[in-house]
Amino acid sequence: MQNIRHLSYNDIEALFLQIGEKKFRAKQVWEWLWQKNARGFNDMTNLSKELRQKLAEQFSFPALTIETTQYSEDGTIKSRFVTFDGYKVEGVLIPTEERKTVCVSSQVGCSLGCKFCATGFMGRKRNLDFDEIYDEVVLVNQHSEKTFGQKLTNIVFMGMGEPLLNYNNVLKAIERISAEDGLFMSPKRITVSTAGIAKMIKKLGDDKVRFKLALSLHAANDKKRSEIMPINDTNNIQSLTEALNYFYKHTGNEITFEYILFKNFNDSQKDADELVKLYRQIPVDLINIIEYNTIENASFDKPEENVTNSFMEYLASKRVNARLRKSRGKDIDAACGQLANKG
């Protein structure tokens, strides 16, 4: 049975004309699907029961549901979603005074096997469809309104999975999220984070996307980066430098680096110097220096505070725009790198 949300507006219009219904019914159904956030055909209360029954017999409507919600001491909220076929993914609401940000997943698990990320130890089960990604945003937005009295302000694709390995669904989800007849959120408030797939970064440039891009860098030389991120063997730093410059030339969109500090691995002044040199080769707006969050199966630690401070001071002395990002939601395994359907 076909998923009704995989039909275009024109498809739905044609369907209603075919079954002898008025054309305006298409607009009503479309609004329920993408603006009024129906969870099933029975929610579509301005349609007759008979018409709702007809739709239910002809189409599926596999909406994401929330299985559990966990609340951190720092205000972070983690939701575990269940797909129609029983897979589980997680999303995180990160509230601050100025922003309400949702961190969404794009895949069930991840195939890239980064050595510091809990999701990487799960392997990849399947891609999320664009409507499932859309549901994550809708459900977390409802949480935000209920808990904080505010809608989401920002979306980051930094949850489970590699967004550029689910390219079409991620772009379609963003189109629906930013569309006037969708959630109507500005693409400038959306950031897609990638472990670095050069040809797909260039494709983003060719497709003239309007959202921001973040590169999970974590080491500024190939030897170290390959040790912790196997993807670097086929997408080295030189190829990523070229791809990011291509992306910027074609879009002008903001680029950030994500850099987790690991004790005695990438936290020395030499590491900072390599990071500065790379920063100078790409129009990077900001480097987010991230606190490491411990996970099972990984042997990394976070550096002592004085080492982190020295690293930040060195970057500042070189006039690098860098910010130390404090971990949020560690107590509920909701922080960076911790999403693995635990608890």
Cα separation, 137 vs 37, whole angstroms = 11
Extract the runs of DSSP E, i.e. beta strands, from 47-178. Answer: 59-60, 65-71, 77-82, 88-95, 100-103, 107-110, 123-127, 154-157
Cα separation, 71 vs 79, whole angstroms = 9
Cα separation, 297 vs 273, whole angstroms = 30
Q: Which tokens belong to 127?
A: 């891609």
Q: What does 79-99 look like in DSSP terms, one character per residue? A: EEEE-TTS-EEEEEEEE-SS-
Catalytic residue among 13, 90, 132, 136: 90
Q: Which tokens belong to 307?
A: 């080492």
Q: Is 200 exposed, middle or buried (0-12, 13-18, 19+ CB in 10 A)?
A: middle
Residue located via tokens 């002592």: 304
Cα separation, 26 vs 17, whole angstroms = 9
Catalytic residue among 103, 114, 117, 336: 336
90 is catalytic: yes
Cα separation, 77 vs 93, whole angstroms = 5
336 is catalytic: yes
Q: Which tokens belong to 137?
A: 């945003």
Contact in structure between 89 and 201 (CB atoms under 8 Å): no
Q: Which tokens belong to 299?
A: 């042997």
Contact in structure between 327 and 335 (CB atoms under 8 Å): yes
Contact in structure between 260 and 303 (CB atoms under 8 Å): no
Beta-carbon contacts of residue 220 (< 8 Å; ≥ 6 apart):
237, 266, 271, 274, 275, 277, 278
Residues taking part in catalysis: 90, 336
